[in-house]
């Protein structure tokens, strides 16, 4: 909570998130025979607003338990196996060891296979971005960064994080190297496969000219700070008030009226029974 | 409120969801109101829909301006997640080359479940699972084309009634909930749909001969100011909205069974809404299945 609060406070005057102090991975970028030692840091928060579920009468946090759907008994870890659903309600089971054997080896390398134009990679494939910082020496790191900046290129590479191998793009961002993991092609739908899209007609020239004019008139620079999370701002305001012990008045009562439904149910059941 | 919800949980096995969702914004009707309405009318609905494969029109976000895009969808096949206790009836579909599992609604819980699916409109065929190709109802869709109105439809329906009575048949009538009227005659299920369709068509032709207001042919349906006696729905798995089905109109109108004495000038579809119909005590279709006639063709 302390950490979170600090981050929120900072957000008020600064638009970006706080930098973490601990790296999550260390290794090196390899290009042919050249090695650039680096550390990997998280740089994306999924902040939004999050709440913990508590038990109302005593205020204690709740925990999740695994329950068997057949007898509603709590299942201990040593009785859990992984099941791959091959048909509805039909599973092939695996032990953890069997899956570990085929997992990619945790390799401490970011292997660059080629350099590509950054804008040639559609953002639809972008998954998650990490900051890469120099480890030990800064020389090789600075050299690679400057070369990429000068050529406007990005390194197409692979990285193994935890136990999954990702395609990734290594590129400069605000004076540092960052790595963006990419989605595999099999995770992305080709919109042409939506039957609902159908065949699109080419518009009339006059109509198109008008539409193009509107687009041009409304063109401008993109600025992420123009977008505000108003729900988070309101919740933060409420948190502040509550922390000070102020009473919150709920302006809308989201009560559902179900009395009529309950009475109707009773009445109808009585009538149907008579028959 | 939670006490009421708990109580409701004990009375039905349907897990009710999003009860506060607004379904008819113009008249402030929520999903809870819609379910309450169907529960109230269940004793009048269930006997008519019994053993009939149903077709749904679902409005997951209620009635909205259709300009905002598609807000409803037709559903024949029971959706994924249909509880095991819902009775289904498979019919092979030649167009999709597989069985379509139609929902059979013979009990209150199934009706509540349909309302919970936001199936505001429910449609039924003119035969039952005991003989899906042997209709047990004749159906006349009395459909006025503007500027003809419900009043014109009522005039035609009354002529139709006299004609049917003279043939020894017992017609029943309901509003469509929109601009028309539905006339239904219970018969012994012993003929094919071809035969009942031809019979209904023939009656339309005879009525049209004596009244300029009436057209009996599909090609004439769009002639302004005319009333079409539609016979074409008398076909396997063609449907009508069930009696007391809600309609997707801003006023939450209902396809309402009427006494023949109520069929007269001044009939207004918006007089029959979720609010007024749930207070109506009369049950004009009460004897529909004890008045079955043998149709001599």
All residues of chain B having their beta carbon less than 8 Å from the beta carbon of residue A268 are 39-40, 42-43, 108
All residues of chain A having their beta carbon less than 8 Å from the beta carbon of residue B32 are 256-258, 260-261
Q: Tell whether A89 is covered by a domain.
A: no
List CB contacts of B11: < 8 A, sequence separation 6 or more: A262, A265, A266, A269
Q: B32, B49, B73: best mutation site toward chain A, by most A Cβ within 10 Å?
A: B32
Beta-carbon separation of A256 and B32 below 8 A? yes
pLDDT score for A71: 86
Higher pLDDT, A60 or B69: A60
Sheet bearing B257-258, strands edge to edge: B214-215, B227-230, B137-144, B181-186, B172-175, B257-258
The interface predicted TM-score of the complex, written ipTM, equals 0.83
Residues B272, B175 contacting (CB under 8 angstroms): yes
Q: Tell whether B148 is covered by a domain.
A: no
Higher pLDDT, B41 or B81: B41
Q: Tell whether A223 is covered by a domain.
A: no
pLDDT score for B82: 93
pLDDT score for B95: 81
Collapsed DSSP state (helix, strand, coil) of residue A223: coil
Copy the structure tokens of residue B210: 């004596």
The nearest alpha carbon in chain B to A274 belongs to: B43
- Quick check: A262 contacting B, CB < 8 Å? yes
Q: What is the pLDDT of residues B89-125, one digit of tens each?
A: 999 988 878 899 999 999 999 999 999 999 999 999 9
Q: Tell whether A126 is covered by a domain.
A: yes
pLDDT score for A2: 39
- Quick check: A270 contacting B, CB < 8 Å? no
All residues of chain B having their beta carbon less than 8 Å from the beta carbon of residue A264 are 36, 39-40
Q: Tell whether B108 is covered by a domain.
A: yes
* B39, B42, B108: residue with CB nearest A261: B39
CA distance B196 to B203: 11
Q: B4, B14, B108, B112: best mutation site toward chain A, by most A Cβ within 10 Å?
A: B4
pLDDT by residue for chain A (275 residues), tens digit each? 334 444 444 444 567 888 888 899 999 999 888 889 999 999 988 777 788 888 888 888 888 888 888 888 888 888 888 899 888 888 899 888 888 788 776 678 999 999 999 889 999 999 999 999 999 889 999 999 999 999 999 999 999 988 788 999 999 999 999 999 999 999 999 998 888 888 888 888 988 998 998 899 888 899 888 888 888 888 888 888 888 877 666 554 445 678 889 899 999 999 888 76
Q: How many CB pairs lie under 8 A apart between chains A and B?
A: 56
pLDDT score for A64: 84
Looking at residue B217, what DSSP letter applies? S
Q: Tell whether A151 is covered by a domain.
A: yes
* A255, A261, A271: residue with CB nearest B8: A261
Taking alpha carbons only, the member of B57, B62, B51 closest to residue B110 is: B51
Copy the structure tokens of residue A106: 């945790």
All residues of chain B having their beta carbon less than 8 Å from the beta carbon of residue A261 are 4, 8, 19, 32-33, 35-36, 39
Q: B1, B10, B36, B50: best mutation site toward chain A, by most A Cβ within 10 Å?
A: B36
**Gap from B2 CA to chain A (nearest CA, Å):** 9
Number of structural domains chain A divides into: 1
Residues A256, B20 contacting (CB under 8 angstroms): yes
Q: pLDDT band for position B203 (50/70/90)?
A: very high
Residues A111, A28 contacting (CB under 8 angstroms): no
Beta-carbon separation of A272 and B42 below 8 A? yes
Q: Tell whether A35 is covered by a domain.
A: yes
Copy the structure tokens of residue B3: 């006490």
Instruction: Determine how many CB atoms are found less than 10 A away from the CB of residue B97.
Output: 7
Residues B58, B77 contacting (CB under 8 angstroms): no
Domain of A181 in residue numbering reads as 22-47+106-187
Residues B184, B108 contacting (CB under 8 angstroms): no
**Gap from A197 CA to chain B (nearest CA, Å):** 14
Domain of B16 in residue numbering reads as 2-131+238-248
List CB contacts of B73: < 8 A, sequence separation 6 or more: B57, B58
Q: Tell whether A99 is covered by a domain.
A: no
Number of structural domains chain B divides into: 1
CA distance B143 to A80: 63
Q: Tell whether A32 is covered by a domain.
A: yes
Taking alpha carbons only, the member of B53, B47, B52, B293 closest to residue B185 is: B293
Q: Tell whether B118 is covered by a domain.
A: yes
**Gap from A131 CA to chain B (nearest CA, Å):** 43
CA distance B206 to B196: 16
pLDDT score for A69: 84
Q: What is the CATH number of the domain that holds A136?
A: 2.40.290.10
Q: Tell whether B114 is covered by a domain.
A: yes
Interface of B with A (CB under 8 A): 1, 4-5, 7-8, 11-12, 19-20, 30, 32-33, 35-36, 39-40, 42-43, 46, 108
Q: Tell whether B291 is covered by a domain.
A: no
Q: Tell whether A113 is covered by a domain.
A: yes
Q: What is the CATH number of the domain that holds B19?
A: 3.90.920.10
**Gap from B239 CA to chain A (nearest CA, Å):** 26
């Amino acid at each position: 909570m302390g950490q979170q609060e600090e981050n929120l406070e900072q957000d008020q005057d600064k638009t970006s998130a706080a930098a973490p102090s601990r790296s999550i991975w260390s290794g090196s970028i390899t290009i042919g025979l050249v090695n650039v030692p680096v550390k990997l840091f998280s740089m994306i928060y999924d902040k939004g607003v999050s709440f913990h579920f508590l038990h109302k009468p005593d205020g204690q946090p709740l925990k999740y338990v695994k329950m068997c759907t057949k007898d509603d008994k709590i299942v201990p870890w040593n009785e859990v196996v992984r099941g791959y659903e091959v048909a509805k309600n039909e599973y092939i089971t695996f032990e953890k060891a069997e899956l570990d054997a085929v997992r990619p080896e945790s390799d401490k390398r970011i292997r660059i296979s080629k350099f590509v134009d950054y804008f040639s990679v559609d953002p639809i494939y972008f998954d998650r971005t990490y900051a890469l910082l120099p480890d030990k020496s800064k020389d090789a790191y600075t050299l690679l960064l400057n070369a990429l900046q000068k050529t406007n290129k990005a390194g197409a590479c692979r990285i193994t994080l935890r136990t999954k191998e990702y395609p990734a793009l290594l590129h400069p961002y605000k004076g540092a190297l960052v790595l963006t993991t990419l989605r595999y092609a099999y995770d992305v739908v080709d919109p042409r496969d939506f039957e609902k899209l159908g065949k699109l007609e080419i518009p009339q020239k006059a109509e198109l000219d008008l539409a193009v004019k509107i687009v041009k008139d409304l063109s401008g620079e993109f600025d992420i700070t123009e977008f505000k999370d108003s729900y988070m701002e309101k919740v933060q305001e409420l948190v502040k008030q509550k922390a000070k012990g102020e009473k919150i008045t709920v302006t809308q009562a989201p009560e559902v009226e179900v009395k009529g439904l309950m009475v109707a149910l009773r009445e109808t059941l009585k009538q149907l029974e008579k028959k | 409120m939670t006490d009421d919800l708990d109580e409701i949980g004990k009375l039905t096995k349907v897990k009710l969801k999003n009860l506060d969702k607004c379904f008819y914004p113009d008249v402030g009707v929520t999903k809870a109101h819609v379910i309450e309405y169907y529960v109230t009318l269940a004793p009048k609905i269930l006997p008519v829909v019994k053993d009939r494969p149903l077709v749904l029109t679902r409005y997951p976000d209620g009635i909205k301006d259709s300009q905002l895009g598609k807000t409803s969808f037709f559903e024949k096949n029971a959706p994924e997640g249909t509880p095991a206790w819902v009775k289904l009836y498979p019919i092979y579909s030649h167009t999709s080359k597989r069985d379509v599992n139609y929902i059979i609604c013979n009990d209150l819980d199934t009706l509540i479940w349909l309302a919970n699916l936001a199936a505001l409109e429910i449609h039924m065929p003119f035969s039952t699972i005991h003989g899906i190709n042997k209709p047990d109802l004749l159906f006349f869709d009395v459909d006025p084309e503007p500027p003809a109105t419900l009043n014109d439809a009522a005039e035609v329906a009354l002529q139709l009634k006299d004609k049917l009575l003279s043939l020894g048949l017992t017609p029943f009538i309901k509003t469509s909930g929109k601009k028309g009227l539905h006339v239904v005659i219970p018969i012994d299920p012993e003929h094919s749909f071809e035969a009942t369709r031809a019979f209904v068509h023939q009656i339309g032709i005879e009525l049209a001969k004596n009244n300029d207001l009436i057209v009996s042919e599909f090609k004439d349906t769009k002639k302004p100011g005319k009333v079409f006696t539609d016979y074409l729905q008398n076909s396997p798995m063609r449907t009508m909205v069930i009696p007391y089905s809600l309609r997707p109109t801003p006023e939450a109108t209902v396809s309402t069974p009427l006494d023949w004495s109520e069929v007269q000038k001044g009939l207004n579809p918006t007089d029959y809404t979720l609010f007024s119909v749930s207070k109506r005590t009369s049950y004009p279709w009460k004897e529909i299945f004890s008045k079955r006639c043998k149709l001599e063709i």
